[in-house]
Amino acid sequence: MIINHPLLGPRDAAEFIYLGDAALIDRPDWQAEDAMQQFHDYAYLRDNPAGPHRELWYHEQGDRSWLVVTRDTTTHEITDVQMARDVARSRGRDK
Amino acid sequence: MPDYTLISTPPLAGYDKIFGTTRLHAPADLAIVSIALPLGAEDAALKAVKSAYGAALPEPGRSTLTKEGARLVRLGSDQAFVIFTHATPDAERAVATRLKGTAYTTDQTDVWTGLEITGPDSRTVLERICPVDLHRDAFAEGDAARTVMEHLGALIVRTGEDTFLLLSASSSANSFLHAVETSIRNTS
Amino acid sequence: MTQKNRISGGQIDRTRTVAFTFNGKRMAGHPGDTLASALLANGQRLVGRSFKYHRPRGILTAGSEEPNALVELRSGAQQEPNTRATTVELFDGLAANSQNHRGPLEFDLMALTDLMSPFLSAGFYYKTFMWPRAFWEKLYEPVIRASAGLGRLSMQDDPDSYDKGFIHCDLLVIGAGPAGLSAALAAGRAGARVVLADEDFTPGGRLNAETHAVDDMAGADWAAQAVAELAAMDNVRLMPRTTVYGAYDHGTYGALERCTDHLSDAGGKPRQVLWRIYSKRAVLAAGATERPIAFGNNDRPGIMLAGAVRTYANRFGVTPGQEVAVFTNNDDGWRTAADLLARGVAVPAVIDTRDAPAPIDLPGIRHVRNAAVMDTVGRKGLKSITLTDGQVIPADTLAVSGGWNPNVHLTCHQRGRPEWRDDLNAFVPGASLPAGMAVAGAANGALTLAAALAEGQAAANAQIEALGFTPAKTDAPRAEDEPSTCSAFWHVRESRKRAWLDQQNDVTVKDVKLSYREGFRSVEHLKRYTTLGMATDQGKTANIPALAIMAECTGKTIPETGTTIFRPPYTPIPLGALAGRARGTDFRPYRLTPSHNWATENGATFVEVGNWLRAQWFARPGEKGWRDSVDREVEMTRNSVGICDVTTLGKIDIQGRDAAEFLNKVYANGFAKLPVGKVRYGLMLREDGIAYDDGTTARMSENHFVMTTTTANAVLVFRRLEFARQCLWPNMDVHLISTTDGWAQFAVAGPNARNLLRKVVDESHDISNEAFPFMACSEITVCGGMPARLFRISFSGELAYEIAVPARYGNSMMDVLIEAGREFNATPYGTEALGVMRIEKGHAAGPELNGQTTAHNLGMGRMVSQKKECIGNVLSQRPDMIRDDAVKLVGVRPVNRAEPLTAGSHFVNRGETASTETDQGWMTSVAYSPSLGHSVGLGFIRRGDERMGEIVRAVNPLKGGETEVEIVSAHFIDPEGERLRA
């Protein structure tokens, strides 16, 4: 597979490490009343769609950036690649 | 006088071989210092680089050769390398002093081992281990890429018409050299 | 033997002769021959025995689809079985042998199996499992095992080398036949970066095998001219002898280049190169494969595909026989008759299944209409054919044409399903192609020449236009479309004798019918039940006729019956090519520690730790085994001072205004308030609360930390930190960079550690206990100004430091430390002694941090802060993970001190039977403690912290035996920590 890195252009997926569902960015609030339940869901429950999937890839043999790649799990078509840091910020993550 | 003296023995020190029209050698006294741009204060750091080196830090995937012969390689959005010739083990301080605290610096000299390959067949050689497109038009002079060659992380910079600087981890320098030499032998 | 079947013409170099042997028989051919064409030229028709029935077989085809003519090439370690004679380029000294027979090829003792064929029909193998049961192990299995398989392996290491590589292009053209050449010319002339790959050694495809004209010249000459034009273009890469075997994601293709297989001496170069081709676009011009018609005894040597007969005649100047009859269901078969007649070869008859006039006018030809071949005679070579009307026609060769199948394989590698075209009676590529691929020419169902040339050009132009190139305004090469109608005729119903479909796996029409009767009717079941198409040729000539017969049985159409899924590789790829360079010591890279040379010179035995080679121990003269060395290294360290290269521990440089807060989030224990100049032990958890990694982190300055990780997790921890930095807390000013290889780091441990270091550290740095206490760290200089880092940390439990210098000084530093420590008998120690001392001290390592244990289990539960946000602390508090009766890390010692301990043993209470229910925990690490004079162990045991002094059994059902052990503190040495604070 080829991942079109937003900064570096198309690179072989062999340079990357796969993590999985980009929902891992949305880490729960540790002080929430139901933090235990939320963290349980965060750690263990994942959607496994047949179709477009937003997922985390790490450019380990590259610039060490984490990317959010939208990939169709049935065709491997990649329709979008973003820097995960930007995604995290846009989802309200801070310090 | 101290009682004991430490001797420098970098892994590929002095390596220099000619294979037909291809020369492969380990540049002497190659110093590498990483620069990290502080979050929210990138502009000050970029400015400092420019005034210290007389050249702007290029875009990610590009490098610039400064007038004094240092190469600024932009690796990612907030990280760059300064690669320069420097014999003593204080390269980090040399860069930090010039940047006046505007960026975080880390000595990377001994993290890496450097090999320069030059010659008209250098691309044919590298094609056996390097997944990056090195065609003249696709990888211009000054272009830089981190990638993986024979299971080893590597940084490749095109430093001339048919010349490439390759950096890989110093602990696996022998394996990396073996990979490049094997490519030369297999394609000669 | 003379080349008795050599006729005029062909693209071979008759000025030179090439000598080769077949089964030891000396033969001759010419450069440009394949082994198959040379064998035929020499009159060698019988070339092998079939897989199951040991039937005599000859050459069926002239390409990579060959099911029969499989030979062993070369000798000794280089012997390669199951090589298709039809693709082997002849070279001087080539030695080939037939395979799958006992005794000489002509008198195969195993041919008896042919008589047993009623018992070996489809599914016989599965049936042997069923009845009688006792026969399987004693009779069936040994017999089948002994007779299975075709060629033999040399059973020696492959002496050849292989390589891999990466190629980038705008347009990959797969196949250099008329469509491929036309496509490559169009794209090349427009300036695109083109790769043109073809499995043959001479590009041209069917242009070399036919007598058609292109642009008013012979097709083969036009092909040579096109190749010359392409070769002169800088932007075109011609890759003959290269099979594109798989279509992968996003325009990536796998290709195998055979670099030296056609040479008698490889000259030390890689035999084959496995290429990964990155293409922006691709044109598949893989051509088509002719299929046979099934009739009785259609597998005799001398029965060949009609197109292959033309190839041998036109390209190689060889006729397979003197009297070549033609059996066809389509127009194309007639060209074989025409071409042979033109070269003076006798054609006794053309048998056409159709009741129609001849599509080509061949004066005087015996044209048998509306007829078919029902049976044949000639066990080791065809003698005559018997037609459905009873006529017997003498012939030594029968050219069979059942129509052509477009080579759709690569269009299907990503789930694409081919579509049936009634007008062609063949499958063509479906609408769902791999991204970026277009198909042209015969592969796309354009089975005639003018159409193929035009399609190739049009496909290439459309592809490069999409990439922004301007196609050259040239017309497609000129040619004519030859007659090409084809009827749906698959097998001769009148045949009583076995009619072969898959000749490589010996599957007959009867087997397909049996499969139907026994209920295996879907194509996927048919394939597995009969093994149809499962041989190395993947049924290239067999599948479609078999599908047609299954369709007949079920009353469905062929498209309703469907096809099995084509998967890579298109043709077999040697395992050696897949391995590439990754063999022996080149299997993976090695990482060497900075003091590796010193260690080598000083008798170290090395151990692989991940990719690292670490000194395991340093043997001294007179030591009888590793235990002697390790015991000495431990004793010397505990009594005076020892030195160990610990560079392999991961080092991560962490800087930034938020670095302290960042560490506070990634470690379970507090780090925000770590003072500058101090080191702290840190425990990392996984998000699920399981212990992940541990190490020490030193605060060098306000915004600068140096983290160490375990050797094994260095890369993984770095990855997780980057995840935390970019995805979880993206607005922290934190920067990470690995410095693992940059600093040579040595543990200097033992009561004399400080005394030794005082001789090395520059005097301006006070390293007294008061100025530099336990867990202090500092940037210092050594040996007169050399920048260094000093950490007062201890893994051994002794007064200890870790000192780091730039890695290029590491080998020298080891020398200096030993030299300076000579008055203290400073001793280098390896990973074994390191392990013994950490077990004696009760420090957790890999066996304890095994991905199943928690801080609570490790006795570090209270370290996990609940007052801050950090990875893993929430889920670490799940009730089941903090149970009072959880296993706890303890030490154990054998009750009988003389007994050794075994890691992996499980703890069971005295008086209880060892079982899962009574399991109390397990032993993680064991060592002989030279300090204590007996074995010691660490382990997890239920409520272990409350059971000090209790005696339990350490049971090891795997290795046998059990040992009574006493539960004690894990800190066997200096439990109060006085030594390390000394």
With CB atoms and an 8 Å threshold, state whether C807 touches B170: yes
Between A and C, how many CB-CB pairs are < 8 A? 85
Residue in B75, B155, B176 to test binding to A, most A beta-carbons within 10 Å: B75
Taking the Cβ of residue A64 and every Cβ of chain B, the question of whether any pair is shorter than 8 Å is answered with yes
Q: What is the DSSP letter of C10?
A: S
With CB atoms and an 8 Å threshold, state whether C730 touches A64: no
Residue C99 in contact with residue C46, Cβ under 8 Å?
A: no
Beta partners for residue C272, in sequence order: C162, C258
Q: How many CA atoms lie within 13 A of C866 on its CB side?
A: 9
**B180 closest CA partner among C581, C259, A12, C613:** C581
For A85, nearest residue in chain B (alpha carbons): B77
Quote the minimal CA–CA distance from B185 to chain A in Å: 25
Average of per-residue pLDDT across C919-924: 97
- What are the structure tokens assigned to A25, written together? 């960015």
* Chain C neighbors of B174, CB-CB under 8 A: 590, 592
Taking the Cβ of residue A2 and every Cβ of chain B, the question of whether any pair is shorter than 8 Å is answered with no
Residue C577 lies in a domain: no
Element (H, E) at C192: none
- What are the structure tokens assigned to C34, written together? 């394949």
Quote the minimal CA–CA distance from C602 to chain B in Å: 18
Residue C979 lies in a domain: yes
Domain boundaries of chain B, sorted by first residue: 16-187
Residue C563 above 90 pLDDT?
Answer: no
Residues C302 and C410 both lie in one domain: no
**C187 closest CA partner among C237, C222, C224:** C237
Average of per-residue pLDDT across C349-367: 95
Q: Name which CATH class applies to A2-24+46-90.
A: alpha beta
**C306 closest CA partner among C487, C62, C540, C492:** C62
Average of per-residue pLDDT across B177-185: 98
Between A and B, how many CB-CB pairs are < 8 A? 36
C467 vs C808: CA distance, rounded Å: 49
Domain boundaries of chain A, sorted by first residue: 2-24+46-90
Residue C836 above 70 pLDDT?
Answer: yes
Residues C518 and C447 both lie in one domain: no
Whole-number pLDDT of residue C478:
94
Residues C307 and C387 both lie in one domain: yes
Backbone φ and ψ of C342, nearest 5° = -65, -25
C80-84 and C70-73 strand pairing: antiparallel
- What are the structure tokens assigned to C598, written together? 């010193």
- What are the structure tokens assigned to C615, written together? 């000194």
- Could you report the per-residue pLDDT of C90-104, keeping only the tens digit for each? 999 999 999 888 788
Residue C931 in contact with residue C975, Cβ under 8 Å?
A: no
Residues C628 and C752 both lie in one domain: yes
Whole-number pLDDT of residue C364:
92
- Could you report the per-residue pLDDT of C415-471, keeping only the tens digit for each? 899 999 999 999 999 999 999 999 999 999 999 999 999 999 999 999 999 999 999
Residue C139 above 90 pLDDT?
Answer: no
Whole-number pLDDT of residue C147:
66
* Chain C neighbors of B125, CB-CB under 8 A: none
* Chain C neighbors of A36, CB-CB under 8 A: 874-875, 877-878
Residue C661 lies in a domain: no
For C279, nearest residue in chain A (alpha carbons): A2
Whole-number pLDDT of residue C108:
78
Q: Which of B76, B131, B132 sits opposite A63 (nearest CB)?
A: B76
Whole-number pLDDT of residue C76:
87
Residue C149 above 70 pLDDT?
Answer: no
C620: confidence class by pLDDT, cuts 50, 70, 90: very high
Number of separate domains in chain C: 7
Residue C145 above 90 pLDDT?
Answer: no
B166 three-state secondary structure: strand
Average of per-residue pLDDT across C634-653: 98
Residue C569, preceding bond cis, omega within 30 degrees?
yes
Label each residue of C534-562 as H, E or C.
CCCCCCCCCHHHHHHHHHHHHCCCHHHHC
- Could you report the per-residue pLDDT of C850-909, keeping only the tens digit for each? 999 999 999 999 999 999 999 999 999 999 999 999 999 999 999 999 999 999 999 999
- Could you report the per-residue pLDDT of C929-954, keeping only the tens digit for each? 999 999 999 999 999 999 999 999 99
* Chain A neighbors of C280, CB-CB under 8 A: none
With both helix axes pointing from N to C terminus, report the angle between C509-517 and C543-554 in degrees, rounded to the nearest 10: 40
Residue C684 in contact with residue C693, Cβ under 8 Å?
A: yes
Residue C859 lies in a domain: no
Q: Can you say whether residue A84 is alpha, beta or left, with left for phi > 0 and alpha for psi between -120 and 50 degrees?
A: alpha
Quote the minimal CA–CA distance from C760 to chain B in Å: 7
Backbone φ and ψ of C540, nearest 5° = -60, -35
Quote the minimal CA–CA distance from B146 to chain C in Å: 14
With CB atoms and an 8 Å threshold, state whether C193 touches B135: yes
Residues C960 and C910 both lie in one domain: yes
Residue C65 in contact with residue C29, Cβ under 8 Å?
A: no
With CB atoms and an 8 Å threshold, state whether C738 touches B185: no
- What are the structure tokens assigned to C125, written together? 């193998």
With CB atoms and an 8 Å threshold, state whether C722 touches A66: yes
Quote the minimal CA–CA distance from C597 to chain B in Å: 10
Instruction: Residue C33: give its domain's CATH number.
Output: 3.10.20.440
Express as a percent the part of chain B with pLDDT over 70.
99
Burial code of C648-670, b = ≥16 C-beta within 10 A, e = fewer?
bbbbbbbbbbbbbbbbbbbbbbb
With CB atoms and an 8 Å threshold, state whether A95 touches C661: yes
Residues C248 and C183 both lie in one domain: yes
Instruction: Residue C320: give its domain's CATH number.
Output: 3.50.50.60
Chains adjacent to C (≥3 CB pairs closer than 8 angstroms)? A, B
* Chain C neighbors of B151, CB-CB under 8 A: 588-589
Residue C176 lies in a domain: yes
Whole-number pLDDT of residue C131:
65
Residues C889 and C942 both lie in one domain: yes
Between B and C, how many CB-CB pairs are < 8 A? 156
Residues C272 and C418 both lie in one domain: yes
Least confident stretch, A16-25, C94-103, C649-658: C94-103
Domain that holds residue C281: 162-288+406-466
> pTM surpassing 0.90?
yes
- What are the structure tokens assigned to C929, written together? 């403690």
C137: confidence class by pLDDT, cuts 50, 70, 90: confident
Residue B113 above 70 pLDDT?
Answer: yes
C148: confidence class by pLDDT, cuts 50, 70, 90: low
Kindly report each contact of residues A7-11 with a partner whose C-beta sits within 8 Å and lies 24 or more positions away, as own/partner: A7/A63, A7/A65, A7/A83, A7/B60, A7/B61, A7/B76, A7/B77, A8/A59, A8/A62, A8/A63, A8/B60, A8/B61, A8/B145, A9/B61, A11/A59, A11/A62, A11/B132, A11/B147
With CB atoms and an 8 Å threshold, state whether A17 touches C719: yes
C147 vs C14: CA distance, rounded Å: 42
Instruction: Give B16-187's CATH code, choosing from 3.40.720.10, 3.40.50.920, 3.30.1360.120, 3.40.50.720.
Output: 3.30.1360.120
- Could you report the per-residue pLDDT of C282-317, keeping only the tens digit for each? 999 999 999 999 999 999 999 999 999 999 999 999
Q: What is the DSSP letter of B27?
A: -
Residues C48 and C185 both lie in one domain: no
Residue C798 above 90 pLDDT?
Answer: yes
Whole-number pLDDT of residue C690:
97
With CB atoms and an 8 Å threshold, state whether C869 touches A88: no
For A84, nearest residue in chain C (alpha carbons): C727
C105: confidence class by pLDDT, cuts 50, 70, 90: confident
Residue C151 above 90 pLDDT?
Answer: no
Does the interface ipTM go beyond 0.95? yes
Residue C744 above 80 pLDDT?
Answer: yes
Average of per-residue pLDDT across C710-721: 96
Whole-number pLDDT of residue C733:
98
What's chain C's average pLDDT? Answer: 95
Cα distances (angstroms) measured from residue B26 to each of B116, B168, C625, C815: 6, 12, 41, 25
